[in-house]
Chain A
């Protein structure tokens, strides 16, 4: 799916640019964006290292376990099939807590670790796609014989739920937007807090219902 999306974005962009005469802009955009990707990683790296370092302390001191226990009922409701003592629960808990507090920089590292742990959970469940070093036989049609791709993994139900909830973004205080609004002379920059919480609550409820239906 991401393969097609990525290819489509590039193809559509270039073909459209041919017709509108924007090819020169494409050249610049491609080169600039590639550089932007690296500089974004470098700025993220420090924050990532800091946060993961702190999380290690929090993990060893039992703080994470305490927090995870706190939102345990919520996790058990959303992810009924993740074993109670599995590490994935901890990372999902951290990611959700960071999400709610609006700590964008803290969400991603925990989220990425959560995904890795969810993949490990699949491995432990004996899902063949998740075993290391397993090469999948080419199924279907015209695949070239030398195309020997690693097993293409299918998302587990837990991953789907986790990602959908992440994208629906349960956030208490949209700090950035409030700052931008006051910067542009809003008389009441914080006026969006209540509507934002309400909107995000409704969309998250919709997401949970959707996941629960799909999860059955």
Chain B
């Protein structure tokens, strides 16, 4: 895994410093508060990545460098504020009872619908390249939440995660299934391979997930995001699988989506009825953060879908 190209003054400083092998990041810290857009998002993505697999050219001990953590916090604070500014908690609803209807009542553009009927092969390949940033570490950010939970919520989350990780069989591990699908489709299954292509919206989807996972304080948001993510996957995965068959994509990639039709029909129930329900029994004060996480999941996906449909000159298709 290699460091990406900079996208502005902050990433110029940060990536230069990481490459140079020095451990003085004051100039990076000075540049952080004024960074915006893709520059800020890419910097945060790089800093989060130090907690996943890291970069070959960056010393491993920098994962916990206090100055870099400080930079991360400045960027996360800004991201969290922007996400919370977009969110209004629904009134009079119970998360466990009402979240499915709340999601079904949400009207947003649907990339799966476009892939199902109208997308061409190049558009779908582009989508895979951009989605690979998350799909190649699918479920990983949520794994960080496990030790922050009480007994029931912890066991419930592991029941879901166990399936995400192939129930012990590496061949069935979900991000490996996507990697196999990419390889069979002629793409490179490495999570830095297409980093230079991803727009702001994809960086922010990934950054929000990592931030929710890395902060114990945000465990409610992480699990709300999980519930919304799983609850918007089954039927769209069916549309994706049928669209890929229409376009003659290899069986490995069709299988990745076919697996998610049935897996996520289970996971959406587990996420809401066992994981979030147990969390609320143990920590009822986290209900608003469950909604915040769920809203953020839908909101960030809407923004990504709008960007792609506009790029392809497609009129918005509402799910």
Report if A and B associate in a common complex. Answer: no
